[in-house]
Structures are given as structure tokens and as C-alpha cells.
Amino acid sequence: MLKVGIVGCGKIADSHAWAIQSIKGCEIVGACDAEALMARQFSERFQVRQFFTDVGEMLREARPDVVHVLTPPQSHYSIARQCMEGGCHVYVEKPFTIVTEEAEELLGLATQKNLKVTVGHDAQFSHATRDLRRLVQEGYLGGPPVHMESYYGYEFGSIYGNAIVRDKQHWVRRLPGKLLQNVISHGIARIAEFLCDQKPLVIAHGFVSPSLKSVGEEEIVDELRVIIADQRGTTAYFTFSSQMRPTINQFRIFGCQNGIFLDETQQAVIKLRGHRYKSYAEQFIPHANFSRQYIGNFFRNVSRFVAKDFHMEGGKKCLIDSFYCAVISKTPEPIPHNQILLTSWIMGEIFKQISRKGASCEADSVRGGEISTRTHAFASIDRLQK
């Protein structure tokens, strides 16, 4: 029986508890939160025998094998370190750490102590993303990825989004990357999975949307465009937007022969055929082909639903299950360390650039500086490839 401890009994802890209790052979043996009432309500609702307000006490009393660190990101590093020093494998919610140096330290400590560690990039383990990964591994792209596009939409209409805008003391505002740091991990991790460098070129442009400005918001960057390029020649665009409609969560990956389109929200994967049909056939046959694929996605989703394998947090369950398998069988973790580091490093670069450019970047775009920024970007990629 794998014994699991939970640190941080806020909103995200519920979905972890559901996932853990859905996996055979594991048990939540302790819940910990600095606020005793929060720890108590969690333990009552999920029938956890013991609850604590101190991590050290939980490690000593409940003796978990694995600890899920689900606190606000500012405390991920210290709590994960404490748990690893106590001999526990660690699952850290995204974002992994505040800065890359902390991520490096944690991963180094895990290697040194022969412990497993992973990060909550659970969108990487949804049905659709696993289908996409399988296609890539089977060589559908025809070689290494040439280009990727990752879109991550966000709506401030949610109670969480509203809370951030209303509450000037919200913990998200105290993150170096503020809102972006808490939400873009999924979109960046999709790209990081298919890059080969540990330090690719990153060019970021971020700004506060006019919509947020109209309610007096000046510090939350809610529009972000990023260009990423590695030495192999793989490039990527990342788009984060709170204003674009529809609110999409999509990914496109193109190889030298074919491409693949993933819609995370709709759980759809579409193959993009690289070769054209002759003459007028190109105007008719692809439509039938796309229709067939969308119908295929429909039936695949229905069959998964009927088989009771289509839960909202299914990706999280799959990631946790895979992580526990790695712990038990001492096999590699579901997310390699270099991907965790790369995601962290790219995010760090983005936050550095948008905080450095700040208002001047925005002024540039108003004056038409956007063009010069892009010219600079492509020149940089060109230099890198040479």
C-alpha cells in the first residue's frame, strides 16, 4: 500500500484526493494545512485519518511514501525540499517552483536521494494529448517537429479570475510572473516536450489588455505572445489571451511530412495530411477526411464516457497513476526532469522579458514598434541557426 500525504487543502486538493482514491493500492494517510480548519474539513470529507498543521509533524506521524505539495507556488520549493529530505517522493503542483534555480536544486536533490519527483502538468496526460503523443512517437510527423503553436485561453469571468482582479493582495499578484506564472505552465509544457535545447531562444511580448485596463488594472499581464526556437531548428509560438474568443486550449505540431492538431477542450485530435490532392480534389476530399476524423473523435469520446473513463480530471488521475507506478517499480517518472526544467526556464525567461520591457514594450506596440520587434525576433532566430 502506497501511503500518500497532502500538503495544502485548498481547491486543488479536492481533485487530487479524488484521483488518489480512484487508484488502487494507495491511501491518503495525512492531510496538512497551515489552517487547522482547512485540514480538518479535507480529512472529514475524504475520510483521512489524521490531519496536521505542520509538515514535519505529518512526515513523522503519518510517514507517507509520497507527498503532494498543493500550496501556493511561493512555498513549493521549501515544502518539497523538506519532504524529500524526509525521504518522500514528491508531486508538486504547477508551477513547479518560482525560479529555475530552485527547480534545479529540487531535481538534483531527488537524483541524489534516489527519489521520484513530478510536476502537475496533468493536461499532458489527457486522452487527447496521449493520442497526439502516440502519433508523434509512431513517426507521423515524418521527422523532428518543425514548428508548434500552443494557444492557451483564459476567462476572467470565473470566480477565481474575478478574485484576482478584485483582491489587490491576492497571492497570485505576489508571484514574479503574477497571473501568467500560475496558468501558462500547461501551454508551455506542451512545447517543451518537443524541444531539444535546455536553453532555447525566447522572445516574449506581454501587455495588460484594454479590457483589464478599463477596470483600473495596471499590473496583471493577461495578453502574451512568445516565440521560441531551439538549435535544431524547431520553432514555436505560444499565445496566452484573456480576450480572444472562443477561449481555446489548442496545440498544433508540424513535421516535415504531416501535422497534428489537438483541441484540449474538445478532446479532439486531427491529423493534418502533408500532401495535397491533385487539382480540384484538394477542394473536396480534405473536407470529407476532416469530417470522418471529427466523427471518429466523437465516437471515441462517447465510448470513453460509456466506459466511465472520461472524467474531467482524467489527465490528473493518469499522471498520478503513472507517477506512483514509477515510484513502485523504480522506473523513470512520467515527466522527465529536463522537461520540468525547460518549462521552468522558458517561463522564467518570459517573466524576465515582460517585466524588463514593461511599459516601454507597450508604448512600442502603440507606435508600431511591433514590426521592429518581430524583425528583431526573426533575425535572432536566423543568427541562432547559423
Partner 1 sequence: MALQDPIISPEDKVLVTGASGFIGTRVVGKFLEHGFRRVRCFSRTSSDLRKLDSIKRDYGDTAEIEIFRGNLLSREDCRRAAEGVPVIYHLAAGTGEKSFPDAFLNSVVTTRNLLDASLEHACLKRFVSVSSFAVYTNRNKPDGRLLDESCPMEEHAALRGDAYCYAKVKQDEIVMEYGKKQGVRYVILRPGTVYGPGKRAITGRVGIDTFGIFLHLGGSNKIPLTYVENCADAIVLAGLKKGIDGEIFNVVDDDLVSSRRFLRLYKRNGGSFRSIFLPHIVSYLSCYLWEKYTLRSNGQLPPAFNRSRWHAEWKDTTYSNEKLKKLVGWRPKVSTSEGLARFFKSYEEGGKNA
**Contacts to partner 1 by CB under 8 A:** 9-11, 13-14, 18, 22, 35, 37-38, 41-42, 44-45, 159, 166-169, 305, 308, 310-312
Nearest distance from residue 169's CB to partner 1, in Å?
A: 7
Nearest distance from residue 24's CB to partner 1, in Å?
A: 12
Nearest distance from residue 255's CB to partner 1, in Å?
A: 35
Q: Which is nearer to partner 1, 21 or 373 (CB)?
A: 21
Q: Which is nearer to partner 1, 171 or 237 (CB)?
A: 171
Nearest distance from residue 72's CB to partner 1, in Å?
A: 13
Closest CA to 129 of 196, 179, 194: 194
Closest CA to 16 of 94, 113, 105: 94
Q: Report residue 48 as a C-alpha cell.
A: 483521512
Nearest distance from residue 369's CB to partner 1, in Å?
A: 34
Q: Which is nearer to partner 1, 38 or 253 (CB)?
A: 38
Cell numbers 460509456 correspond to 306
Nearest distance from residue 10's CB to partner 1, in Å?
A: 5
- The residues that bridge with 253 in the sheet, in sequence order, are 148, 260
Q: Which is nearer to partner 1, 298 or 305 (CB)?
A: 305
Q: What is the spatial distance between Cα 258 and Cα 109, in angstroms, rounded to a whole number?
A: 40
Nearest distance from residue 14's CB to partner 1, in Å?
A: 6
Q: Write the CA distances from 202 to 67, 111, 342, integer angstroms.
A: 33, 28, 12
Provide φ and ψ at 285, rounded to 5°: -65, -40
Q: Which is nearer to partner 1, 154 or 194 (CB)?
A: 154
Helix spans in 91-200 (H) = 100-112, 127-137, 159-166, 178-183, 185-192
Cβ(92)–Cβ(120) under 8 Å?
A: yes
Other C-beta atoms closer than 10 Å to the C-beta of 95 total 26
Which letter, b or e, does each residue of 333-362 get, where b requires 16 or more Cβ atoms within 10 Å of its Cβ?
Answer: bbbebebbbbbbbbbbbbbebbeebeeebb
Q: Write the CA distances from 24 to 64, 277, 320, integer angstroms.
A: 16, 50, 12
Cell numbers 497513476 correspond to 321
Non-local CB neighbours of 86 within 8 Å, separated by 6+ positions: 56, 59
Q: Which is nearer to partner 1, 255 or 314 (CB)?
A: 314
Nearest distance from residue 16's CB to partner 1, in Å?
A: 12
Q: Which is nearer to partner 1, 41 or 241 (CB)?
A: 41
Q: Report residue 149 as a C-alpha cell.
A: 503553436
Q: Which is nearer to partner 1, 14 or 364 (CB)?
A: 14
